Amino acid sequence: MKTRHIFIFLSAMIALFLISSQAIAAPQQLDPKATPPGLAKTPEDQAEQTMGNSHGKHENYKGTITAVDASSITLALKDGTAVTVTLTAETDIKILTRKNAPAAELAAGMTVMIQAIRGDDDSLTARKVVLIPGKPAKIHRAGIVTAYQAGQSITIQAKDEQYYTFLLTDETKILPAERLDLLVVGARVTIICPRDVSSQDLTAAGIVIHPAVAEE
């Protein structure tokens, strides 16, 4: 009888130990409706968190520049509408590999992508303006040389009576090479220039020197 009592007591103790162990090891059940720490509990809280973000909500626009100055830029969008966005000192303007380029390097006709923030007054302020480069257009401009600085620049008066200045580099080819001495003010030339859409400057890729009138 005594042995039986001891056996029952030990069995009860083992059972209690097993139950306690399972209770300790069991994972804590989470209330699926409970809000995880750090997240907004209500739409109002979420809105407050968004407003607390200095960047706010972004709106992206892609289009062709129709007007630009130091304070604003206007785009013609694909759907036929237009949008004007404010430029500030904090606006990051990226032209090819250059960041923080000046707004003066943007011009009508360029295609850009703008990341903007809409303010409480419904105005748009640009955070980023990124130039989307297009295929350079090759320009051929024929005329009379009115100014020439070897290795620096050349200015011609074209048939339309307008004056055009082109930058010269070490890569600028002068053709034919034997007429180099004829490249002076008054010479008739044709300038070959691939237009770089990322710059307002025209750089001559080649200068074709026409023979003097006396040689014709």
* pLDDT, tens digit (0-9, with 9 covering 90-100), for 102-152: 998 888 888 999 999 999 889 999 999 999 887 666 778 999 999 999 999
CA distances, 57 to each of 71, 73, 93, 159 (Å): 21, 20, 19, 52
Query: Does some domain include residue 204?
Result: yes
For position 125, which CATH number holds? 2.40.50.140
Question: How many residues are listed for the chain in this entry?
Answer: 216
Q: Are strands 58-68 and 111-118 parallel, antiparallel or unpaired?
A: antiparallel
Residue 214's SS3 state is: helix
Domain count, the chain: 2
Query: Does some domain include residue 126?
Result: yes
157 & 183 share domain: yes
Judging by beta carbons within 10 Å of its beta carbon (0-12, 13-18, 19+), is residue 157 exposed, middle or buried? middle
209 & 157 share domain: yes
63 & 114 share domain: yes
**CA 202 to chain centroid:** 23
Q: Which of these, 148, 167, 144, lies nearest to 157 by C-alpha position?
A: 144
On the question of pLDDT at 53 being above 60, the answer is no
Q: DSSP assignment, residue 105?
A: G
**What was the pLDDT predicted at 196?**
58
Q: Report d(CA 173, CA 204) in Å as an integer.
A: 8
Q: Are strands 206-209 and 173-175 parallel, antiparallel or unpaired?
A: parallel
**What was the pLDDT predicted at 139?**
78
The pTM is what? 0.44
Residue 205's SS3 state is: coil
**What was the pLDDT predicted at 45?**
45
- Per-residue pLDDT tens for 142-158? 999 999 999 999 999 99
Range of the domain at 174: 137-215
Domain boundary pick from 115, 131, 147 = 131
145 & 211 share domain: yes
95 & 153 share domain: no
- Per-residue pLDDT tens for 164-214? 999 999 999 999 999 999 999 999 999 998 865 555 568 899 999 998 765
On the question of pLDDT at 1 being above 70, the answer is no
Query: Does some domain include residue 27?
Result: no
126 & 148 share domain: no
Secondary-structure percent of the chain, ordered helix, strand, coil, rounded to 5: 20, 40, 40
191 & 206 share domain: yes
Residue 166's SS3 state is: strand
150 & 178 share domain: yes
On the question of pLDDT at 11 being above 80, the answer is no
Query: Does some domain include residue 44?
Result: no
Q: Report d(CA 69, CA 67) in Å as an integer.
A: 7
165 & 119 share domain: no
145 & 183 share domain: yes
Domain boundary pick from 96, 131, 166 = 131
**CA 203 to chain centroid:** 24
Query: Does some domain include residue 182?
Result: yes
Mean pLDDT of the 25-41 span: 46
Q: Are strands 92-94 and 72-77 parallel, antiparallel or unpaired?
A: unpaired
Query: Does some domain include residue 145?
Result: yes
1-15, 50-64, 135-149: which range is least confident on average?
Answer: 1-15
Query: Does some domain include residue 12?
Result: no
124 & 147 share domain: no
Q: Are strands 163-167 and 153-158 parallel, antiparallel or unpaired?
A: antiparallel
Q: Are 86 and 125 in contact (CB under 8 A)?
A: yes
Domain boundary pick from 91, 109, 131 = 131
209 & 144 share domain: yes
